[in-house]
């Protein structure tokens, strides 16, 4: 993942972190659907209960594994963004700043169970 030259000094001291949070523009998304059918779902859901790219503000956020910090950018894995998406910001991922209670998955929990059952068949 390339970082433009004027911003490369900002990569200093990022080595040593295992994961980073990427904030990016969903540049291929056109328009917004407030109700949509999510990738892992059968029913239509409110866009804010999904990871649909067709959002009121086309901003994506993802946590990725930081493989290497190079002179011209980052090498990352486990990326769920489209190649060439404009990167808006990079932040070190700090699990301590996340929720400290048990995380619930809402409607997605049932869909994940269904997918597991389908795989077992």
For the chain, the structural domain boundaries read 5-120
Specify the pTM: 0.82
* pLDDT at 98 (0 to 100): 77
The pLDDT of residue 41 = 85
> How does pLDDT run across 64-92, given as a tens digit for each residue?
999 999 999 999 999 989 989 999 999 99
Interior angle at CA 67, CA 75 and CA 3, nearest 5: 25
Q: What is the pLDDT of residue 105?
A: 85
Task: Classify strands 73-77 and 87-92 as parallel, antiparallel or unpaired.
Answer: unpaired
CATH topology of domain 5-120: Elongation Factor Tu (Ef-tu); domain 3 (2.40.30)
Query: Could you report the per-residue pLDDT of 20-68, keeping only the tens digit for each?
Result: 999 999 999 999 999 999 988 889 999 999 999 999 999 999 999 999 9
């Amino acid at each position: 993942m390339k970082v433009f030259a004027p911003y490369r000094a900002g990569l200093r001291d990022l080595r040593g972190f295992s994961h980073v949070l990427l904030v990016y523009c969903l540049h291929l998304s056109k328009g917004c659907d407030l109700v949509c059918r999510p990738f892992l779902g059968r029913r239509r859901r409110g866009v804010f209960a999904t990871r649909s790219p067709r959002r009121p503000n086309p901003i994506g956020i993802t946590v990725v594994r930081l493989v290497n910090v190079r002179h011209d950018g980052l090498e990352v894995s486990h990326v769920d963004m489209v190649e060439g998406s404009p990167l808006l910001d990079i932040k070190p991922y700090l699990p301590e700043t996340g929720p400290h209670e048990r995380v619930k998955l809402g409607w997605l929990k049932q869909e994940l169970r269904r997918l597991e059952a389908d795989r077992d068949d």
